[in-house]
Structures are given as C-alpha cells and as structure tokens.
Structure 1
Amino acid sequence: MRLTPVAILIAAVSPSLAATYPITGDGVNCRSGPGTSYSVVKSYSKGQSVSITCQTPGTTVSGDSIWDKTSDGCYVADFYVKTGVNGYVTSRCGGSAPPTNGGGYCRRINAAGMSLVEQWEGFVARPKPDPIGLPTVGYGHLCQQSNCAEVKYSFPLTRATAESLLADDIPKYTSCLASAISDRVVLNDNQWAALASWTFNVGCGNVKTSTLVKRLNNGESPNTVAEQELPKWRMAGGQVMQGLVNRRKAEVELFKEASSKQAHPSCS
C-alpha cells in the first residue's frame, strides 16, 4: 500500500513508530541549540542512526536551514541526516506542524546527476587550475581561499572525500536553481539533476539571467527548452570547448530520460 503524506507524517512523529535516520558525515556535531554557534554536546559518526523528535529552523548549512533535535536532546544540522526527504519529516520543535512543500526544492540531486557531474568535472586530488585557470579540487570545487583552505577534508582527496565535498557543494547550486525557476514549472528528478549539473558548471548568476530559465518560466515545454538552450552553453574563456559540447549533450540526454519522481517545485 502506498502511504499518503499524512500517513507518512503520522508514522514519523508517532512514538510507537519512531523512525531512525543515518548520519551522512564523519564527526557530525550535535549541539545545544539549532546553530553552529551553540556548544557541542556530542558527535555522531558516519552511518550512526539517530531518532528525530522534532525539527526547527536554524543556521543554514550547505543550503539547508533545518536542524533536527535528536532523542539525545541536542540539535544536528539536517544536511547531515539522511531522512530521504529534502525538508521537514516531523513536527516543528514547539508543536507547530511542518511545512507541506517538502522544503521548496531538492537540495540534493539523484545518483544519475551526481555521476554526470563527477564524470564531466573530473577528479582532482589536490588544488590546481582548471582548463581556464580557475583553482579547483575534488569534482569541480572552486577554491574560495588560497590552496582551498576552506575544504574540511585532507589533501590529497580520495574519491570518497571528493564525493563528500561535492555533496556539500551541490545545495548551493540547487538552492539557486530553485530560486530562479517558478513553482509553476514541474520537473522530474532527471530534469532537475540535469539543470543542477548545468548550474554547477556555469554559475548562479548566469542561470538566473539565462534564456533557458526565462523560457521555462514562460511555460514552454521543458524538454524543448532544454534541447534548444543547453547546447548554447559551450564556451569558456571565449572559446568553444569540446568538453562542454559533450557535457551539454549528456545533460540533454539525462533531462529527456523519463521519470515519475517529481523534484520541483517540491520533492515527492
């Protein structure tokens, strides 16, 4: 039997059916309040299961402002808890009901999208200039400080830590994408992942001013828009790059791959 959203919510908050969720990072801090300025009460290891008693807004971590209060009585950033839903899964701390829109956007992308980004960004273990001279590391992480000092993982990166870094970075781009695309535009998870890959590659500013987004928001067929507009984004440093031509082709192919799973305007 397929559960309705109400049934799922009841199951999440019912003490007799308390769900546990795995932690996705190593040494994830659980704090005395919903924010990074609160003191650390304890830490969780990757894969450890936690039970969520309620959720509340707090300091934004990698594009996610939700914090989960665990059965240990402390708060952990929801970004590091794999609930399977990109939004509230239980009641707000204080008793109010959770938002019904699933958080407004998928902060992550599906496996096909992650694989596409990894393929076309390429793996770099230590910071070095990309083809147009920008310092990057991992799978396309653009360095914000000298030698990518902001990266919390040790160099040289392994493929596993590079994947974790990419997962940390993706929400910044999906958040931008969600703010640019009207809620009237319905996209499945493959369409969403393809556009997230494009956003990751070209940057938020370009996405927000693009003809692609304008056409989507004007109600044109998403498949037609993607097929016509994505291939135009093939230049870097004033030159057509064959790698970008190939990447855009792969993004169009993923965009047009059928899926019944909705990702925008809310995950389901």
Structure 2
Amino acid sequence: MKLLTIAVLALASATSFAKTYPITGNTVNCRSGPGTSYSVKKSYKKGTQVSISCQTSGTSVSGNNIWDKTSDGCYVADYYVKTGVNGYVTKKCGGGSSGGSPSGGYCKKVNTAGVNLVAQWEGFVSRPRPDPIGLPTVGYGHLCQKKNCAEVKYKFPLTKTTAKQLLGDDLPKYTKCLAAALNSKPKLNQNQWAALTSWVFNVGCGNAKSSTLVKRLNKGESPNTVAAQELPKWRKAGGRVLQGLVNRRKAEVKLFKTASSKQAYPKCQ
C-alpha cells in the first residue's frame, strides 16, 4: 500500500512539473537573464509548449515585467507565454526573490552614503510643492502620484525623520529597476550601486534603461570609466542645463569612485 501511495504521489508531482504553456509570439527569444539586454540562448516558435521552473521580474514588455525561466534554463518574457493569468503561476526564482538581477541577490537597499546623497540633492519639502520643472513632490524627492500626494502614508507636514522613511519606501523601486536593466557583466560595489541608484531616482527608470551608460556597463566596460564619462551628461531638466544637476552628477561620480569592499551587484554582501 505504501509503495502504491508513493507511486501515485510521484506521478502527481511529475504531472505537475510537466505542465506546459504555449508561446504566443511568432519568434520569441529565450535569454540568459530576465531582460531584453541579456544574450539570446535560443528562440521559440509560435505554439511551442514550454514548462516553467520559476518566475522573476525584469524588463517590462508591453506592461508585463514578469519573466519565466523555462526548463531550457533561459528566460522568456511572460507576455509571450499563455499561462492563463496576468501574474505569477509558480515560485519566484532565487529562493523567492523578485529581483531582476541574474542571481536575484542584488542589494535591494542602498547604503547610508547613498541615502544621504539622494536626500541632500533632492532637498527636504514638508508639504507637496512643485519642483524646479513643475512636478509636485514632497519629502526627499517623492513624486506625487495622486492629488496632494494622497498616497503618502505619513502625516503632513513631514518631519525629516518621516521624510527619510518615505525615501526608504521609494528607493527599492529604483534598485529593482537598476537590477532589471543590468546583465551579469557589471560588478558593482555598494558605493557604485548607491551612486547609480541616485541617478536612476533622478532621471527615471525608462531613461536609465535606454541609456548609453547602462549599455556600456552591459558590454563589460570599466564601471569607473563609464560612470565618469556618462553621468555628467545627465545635467538637463526641462530642456535646460541646471547647475544643481551638474553638481549632483559630480557628487555621484565621487561616491561611485569611493572604494568599498562590499559588493552590491549582482550579489549583495
């Protein structure tokens, strides 16, 4: 009886693992990591049935940022896989991590030097008000999503303490974006990671992902050289050069070049 039970359970497990989903695109690339900047390992034709071992977040494709790791060991955009739901259908890759880095082990948090850098250059605002180009912000650079920043859970006027807490709530969005944009070639320490997070926080996720800076890092160029050459180019807002952005880029380059023995990407220490 025990042997029969074990056999039934094994069969059920195998059946569950073998569940497959059809590819909906004509030719869909399966990549070495969860993003369009990763190298192509193979391609699937429309109608190919694939099994999914785990899922993670990565580059957004038509509004869907989920990537499926197939039994072939590569990642395909979930947008092109007909799973029947608009969300996760199995476990997350990397032991439950939802990060977009190759190992899922990137630093989601930013070190103190990075937090202070963002706070310094964003400036403290206790109540929602327009920034230099007219966008309503509050705290340390929180861009309002609703009228009067109604989404903020902290009471107005903010104190510097609650503003730092709000900043801490916001930063993981930008580290996640940065991890999704990078492939496995860049090796960044915590100061380099913090400096780039400050930059992404300032210029926005979309601009960062399409930037020459990210493309050069993904080609394996020296991070210090890339940062020194590319960060200063991001000095305009609303079509004009702002001295505040010129100074901020200098501060980011300085932090980027500050030595640190702790790695932040692709593995957090």
Q: Normalising by structure 2, report the TM-score.
A: 0.62
Q: CA deviation at 1:104?
A: 2.8
2:189 paired with 1:188: yes
Q: Is the 8 A contact 1:105 1:264 kept in 2?
A: yes
**CA RMSD, aligned part only?**
2.2
Q: Distance in 2 between matches of 1:179 and 1:102?
A: 11
Q: Is the 8 A contact 1:128 1:135 kept in 2?
A: yes
Q: CA deviation at 1:106?
A: 1.1
Q: Is the 8 A contact 1:109 1:192 kept in 2?
A: yes
- Identity score, percent: 72
Could you give the per-residue CA deviations for residues 66-124 of structure 1, whole angstroms, max 9, x where no partner exists? xxxxxxxxxxxxxxxxxxxxxxxxxxxxxxx9479874321110000001000000000
Alignment of 1:152-171 (within 5 A): 152-171=153-172
- Distance change in 2, residues 1:255/1:150 (3 Å): same
Alignment of 1:116-265 (within 5 A): 116-265=117-266
Q: CA deviation at 1:266?
A: 1.5
Q: Distance in 1 between matches of 2:139 and 2:114?
A: 16
- For structure 2, the 5+ residue unaligned runs are 1-54, 56-93
Q: CA deviation at 1:185?
A: 1.1
2:113 paired with 1:112: yes
Match of 1:267 in 2: 268
Q: Determine helix, strand or coil for the equivalent of 1:116.
A: helix
Alignment of 1:48-87 (within 5 A): none
Q: Is the 8 A contact 1:102 1:267 kept in 2?
A: no
Q: Distance in 2 between matches of 1:176 and 1:99?
A: 18
Count of paired positions: 176
Q: Distance in 2 between matches of 1:216 and 1:242?
A: 26
Q: Distance in 1 between matches of 2:176 and 2:267?
A: 12
Q: Normalising by structure 1, report the TM-score.
A: 0.63
Match of 1:49 in 2: none
Higher mean C-alpha displacement, 180-189 vs 193-202: 180-189
Code of the residue aligned with 1:168 in structure 2: it is: D
Q: Determine helix, strand or coil for the equivalent of 1:136.
A: strand
Q: Is the 8 A contact 1:235 1:241 kept in 2?
A: yes
Q: Is the 8 A contact 2:185 2:219 kept in 1?
A: no
Q: Determine helix, strand or coil for the equivalent of 2:129.
A: strand
Which structure's CA Rg is the greater one? 2
Could you give the per-residue CA deviations for residues 185-216 of structure 1, whole angstroms, max 9, x where no partner exists? 11000000000000000000000000000000
Code of the residue aligned with 1:221 in structure 2: it is: S
Code of the residue aligned with 1:156 in structure 2: it is: P
Q: Determine helix, strand or coil for the equivalent of 2:115.
A: helix
Q: Is the 8 A contact 1:234 1:245 kept in 2?
A: yes
Q: Distance in 1 between matches of 2:174 and 2:183?
A: 16
Q: Distance in 1 between matches of 2:267 and 2:249?
A: 25
- For structure 1, the 5+ residue unaligned runs are 1-56, 58-96
Code of the residue aligned with 1:163 in structure 2: it is: K
Following TM superposition, where does structure 1 have runs of at least 4 consecutive aligned residues deviating by more than 3 angstroms? 97-103
Q: Distance in 2 between matches of 1:167 and 1:206?
A: 22
Code of the residue aligned with 1:197 in structure 2: it is: S
